[in-house]
Amino acid sequence: MVLGLLQGVSELFPVSSLGHSVILPRLLGWNIHQNDPYFLTFLVATHLATAIVLLGFFRRDWVRIVRGLGRSLREREIAPDDVDAKLGWLLVVGTIPAGILGLLLEHKLRHIFASPRSAAFFLILNGFLLYGAELLRRRAPQTSSDDDARIARQVGWRGAFLVGAAQAIALVPGFSRSGATMGGGLIVGLSHKDAARFAFLLATPIIGAAAVLKLPELFGHQGSGVRGQALVGALCSAVTAYLAVRFLMRFFETNRLTPFAVYCVLAGAGALLYLVLS
């Protein structure tokens, strides 16, 4: 229950869910290691729950986006005024590099940086990354009253590729997927609200696809003895993920990434100090 509740919040808040999942068991004295097969299987269920929540929360947007993609394929072009088609292809462009890098690097990076100490160190760096994005952010032009129209007009193909590729940094425990994409969105000229919206839309297919690809592990022999816990964790994750996305979409209407940057630096430094001295 604790890990499920934590996953739902930390996956969407720019504070690294993987980093917290590595650090917290060590701080609490639990005999759980990030690379234990049963723990990876457990995380699959919680990630799938988060993806389903995001898909449900933005369901109307996804219906329009899918229809827009269909129109562009049927007409073999993206009409200048077809915001949904443009946004859909931006998400496709952003998903491809993240998916490829994830398949190539996930296993290696998780094994190399699996220790709680390294996760705490990278959590500190994540805080500096968030603060740096605030310093480098461009002024967001109000090109439209519609959220998706603003995103489609402001983000270019190159920007979508770079923002999508930035998600790969979350393969290192301590760095945040949503933090990297939100920061990238700010740098290409999105407002905080639009950057968060684009980050959540971009995260949905990545998190969902990664979880679905590993579902056979949950229903195979690796899931033996952990399916009940995975179900409880997934339900808890779904609850906190829904509350988190509702809160963050309102929060970023008037606020910045700075509070999360401060949290990451303080929490990472505190955890690292404790782990070094214990």
- Domains: count for the chain: 1
Residue 212 tokens, joined? 């679905």
Encode pLDDT of 63-89 as tens digits: 999 999 999 999 989 988 899 999 999
Say what the pLDDT of residue 146 is: 72
Backbone angles phi, psi at 81, to 5 degrees: -100, 5
Which range of residues forms the domain containing residue 160?
2-277
Encode pLDDT of 74-130 as tens digits: 998 998 889 999 999 999 999 888 778 777 766 666 666 668 899 999 999 999 999
> Which of 240, 225, 242 shows the shortest CA–CA distance to 42?
225
Encode pLDDT of 33-68 as tens digits: 766 777 777 888 898 899 999 999 999 999 999 999
Say what the pLDDT of residue 258 is: 95
Question: Where does the pLDDT of residue 250 fall: very low under 50, low under 70, confident under 90, or very high at 90 and above?
Answer: very high
Say what the pLDDT of residue 176 is: 93
Say what the pLDDT of residue 205 is: 87
| HSE-CB of 177 using CA atoms within 13 angstroms | 28
Side chain identity at 64, as an amino acid letter? R
Residue 129 tokens, joined? 């990354």
Minimum mean pLDDT among 18-22, 144-148, 239-243, 246-250: which range? 144-148
pTM of the model as a whole: 0.88
> Which of 172, 17, 34, 32 shows the shortest CA–CA distance to 106?
172
